[in-house]
Amino acid sequence: TPGRTDGARGLRFSPVAPNTADQVTVPVGYAQSVVIRWGEPILRGAPAFDADKQTAAAQAGQFGYNNDFLSLLPLRGEHGRQVLVANHEYTDEILMFKGYDSENPTREQVEIAWAAHGLSVVVVQEEHRSGKLTPVTRHPLNRRLHTTSEFELTGPAAGSPLLRTSADPSGRKVLGTLNNCAGGTTPWGTTLHGEENFNQYFANGSSPTDKRYGIGSGATERKWERFDRRFDLKQEPNEAHRQGWVVELDPYDPDSTPKKRTALGRFKHEAAQPRLTEDGRPVVYMGDDERFDYFYKFVSSKRMKKGNSRAAREHNLTLLDEGTLYVAKLTGDTPQDIDGTGKLPADGEFDGSGQWIPLATGDVSHVPGMTAEEVYVFTRLAGDKVGATKMDRPEDVEPSPRTGRVYVALTNNTNRGKGTNPGADEANPRNLNKHGQILELAEHWDDPASDGFAWRLFLVAGDPNDPATYYAGFPKEKVSPISCPDNVAFDPYGNLWISTDGNQLGSHDGLFGVATQGERRGELKQFLTVPKGAETCGPIIQDRRVVVAVQHPGEIDGASVEKPASVWPDGPGRLVRPSVVAVWRKDGRDIGV
């Protein structure tokens, strides 16, 4: 049945019911197709995907594994085409290789995994009168960047002794980008990519800072250290310092070397989303996705130059190298009412004030006992020292293009209040928090460079029948249930779209839209669900189409190539493949109007 199709403009679709179908389920009246799958060739000379004959050389010219962040950029002069940029966060070897022996991976398997990580740039063609997108293989802008591609460290910590290795005495030239999770798109036409759980690739960590970043003291699960000494910290103790950054890529220049921007700090970067101050300086908001870790922003000291001249483009590629890095401290206004259950405080809101604590400006440290280089390379320790607020896993962040308010997905934190861990506070109000929350932040005077802000929780996720949930005050009997918000994006009407990872309500992950203004503020509606074992990533909401990355379909304990948990997208007998999906309206009209 079509169901209710009223709603805020942009959200007038019949909500998809929670379900466990092994498919992408979209609202009645909508169509979908796979844009591109793991392994499809994008570069000249790359072969078609063949699961039984996969090689590292083939993979280096094919779309990578586990697509996460997506960006679609305009392509001038080529009608009906856009540039798709995708992150490939990590590999699931057990779902990629027949008979995979996790104790003894082969060199070829390891090199395939290296080539399946990283970034893809692929031009896509729109179909006339639908939202369908298809890849333009061998387009000159198409590009793959992976674990052996060259990246340049820039900004105030570049060249630091902390970043030098035996292969790179300059401390500026890094091979590879790892665990690119979410990201952002800049107003000057580049993309930002967060290097998140890089700790898992490094063996034999030993320093206290390795420990603070979650690097283990033994072998890694993937055993890459057997095949390249740079993954063995006993041999190359500084190599892990060269991951955990925000990468900036210029997708319009296929010959450019992507940059790792040290001014934005080193942590488990989930995402990086910029907006401009009134005088044109970029401010980048960033979360560190770890239980009890921090939320940051970087304020550039340079103004963006408008236009597409070579001089403007070159100037804009230096914007993220100079400025100040801050960390957030949040103070609730009704702390006496926070009991860890999620019960609303007497003033009716989880809310309060916030302070941006400066950590470093260029070569100047603002943290006692740490040099500026140390602040950038060991940013988590700087946050510890200044007493930043320990959050429930800050994931993606998105400023509203309509109101300037910033939305931060805090995905969950089942360790909150457990044992000696910090207990609930007003911004993280539930102990053993399974479902997560979304924070809404308003900078003072709506100035992104402000050193203070107001905040409130927009959404406290979970079963709407559970009193410990909050849907921005909207009647909860009229909303779709949501759990574990991860990625956030805005549609052309100013509605917030939220994708989830790890739904704890017994149904599959999915994508939701919610109004942030007006009388329908908080009316959350589910737009799609993803197949078994998958999370929903990278949502892009254009007027004619919704695009999502279906990441790690079939990733269920005990599943393998031989015993698949999902048969998406190609049916039984075919390998389950992470893929990008486009959804559009069958009648050709805009999404949700």
Give the binding site for ligand FEO (CB under 6 A): 89, 181, 196, 270, 289, 395, 486
Cβ closest to ligand FEO, residue 199 vs residue 365? 199
Cβ closest to ligand FEO, residue 181 vs residue 276? 181
**Residue 168 touches which of ligand FEO, Ca ion, none (CB < 5 to 8 A by kind)?**
none
569 prior amide bond cis, ω within 30: yes
Beta bridge partners of 408: 397, 439
Q: Is 195 in the site for Ca ion (CB under 5 A)?
A: no
Q: Is 333 in the site for Ca ion (CB under 5 A)?
A: yes
Matching residue, tokens 């094919």: 62
CA nearest 541: which of 580, 587, 493, 476?
A: 493
Q: Which of 40, 93, 111, 486 binds Ca ion (CB under 5 A)?
A: 486
Q: Is 504 in the site for Ca ion (CB under 5 A)?
A: no
**Residue 590 touches which of Ca ion, ligand FEO, none (CB < 5 to 8 A by kind)?**
none
Q: Is 347 in the site for Ca ion (CB under 5 A)?
A: yes
Q: Which of 351, 392, 443, 491 binds Ca ion (CB under 5 A)?
A: 351
Give the three-state DSSP class for 317: coil
Residues touching Ca ion, count (CB under 5 A): 9
**Residue 347 touches which of ligand FEO, Ca ion, none (CB < 5 to 8 A by kind)?**
Ca ion
Q: What is the three-state SS of 451-468?
A: CEEEEEEEEECECCCCCC
CA nearest 90: which of 72, 69, 108, 121?
A: 69
Question: What x/- string results for residues 406 through 445 when contact with Ca ion is judged by CB under 5 A?
Answer: ----------------------------------------
The CA distance from 338 to 346, in Å, is 10
Cβ closest to ligand FEO, residue 232 vs residue 501? 501
Residues 6+ apart with CB under 8 A from 357: 326, 327, 328, 329, 366, 386, 387, 388
Cβ closest to ligand FEO, residue 95 vs residue 141? 95
Cβ closest to ligand FEO, residue 236 vs residue 289? 289
Are 174 and 274 in contact by the 8 Å Cβ rule? The answer is: no
Could you tell me the smallest distance in angstroms from the CB atom of residue 111 to Ca ion? 26
Cβ closest to ligand FEO, residue 67 vs residue 324? 67
Cβ closest to ligand FEO, residue 361 vs residue 412? 412
Q: ∠501-142-240 over CA atoms, to 5°?
A: 55
Could you tell me the smallest distance in angstroms from the CB atom of residue 486 to Ca ion? 4
Q: Which residues of 136-145 are buried (b: 16+ CB within 10 A; e: fewer)?
A: bbebebbbbb
Max alpha carbon distance in the chain (Å)? 65
Q: Is 501 in the site for Ca ion (CB under 5 A)?
A: yes
**Residue 345 touches which of ligand FEO, Ca ion, none (CB < 5 to 8 A by kind)?**
Ca ion
Could you tell me the smallest distance in angstroms from the CB atom of residue 287 to ligand FEO? 8
The CA distance from 549 to 71, in Å, is 11
**Residue 288 touches which of Ca ion, ligand FEO, none (CB < 5 to 8 A by kind)?**
none
**Residue 334 touches which of ligand FEO, Ca ion, none (CB < 5 to 8 A by kind)?**
Ca ion
Strands 118-126 and 67-74: unpaired
Cβ closest to Ca ion, residue 43 vs residue 482? 482
Task: Please report the sign of the dihedral spanned by the C-alpha atoms of residue 130, residue 135, residue 141, residue 143.
Answer: positive
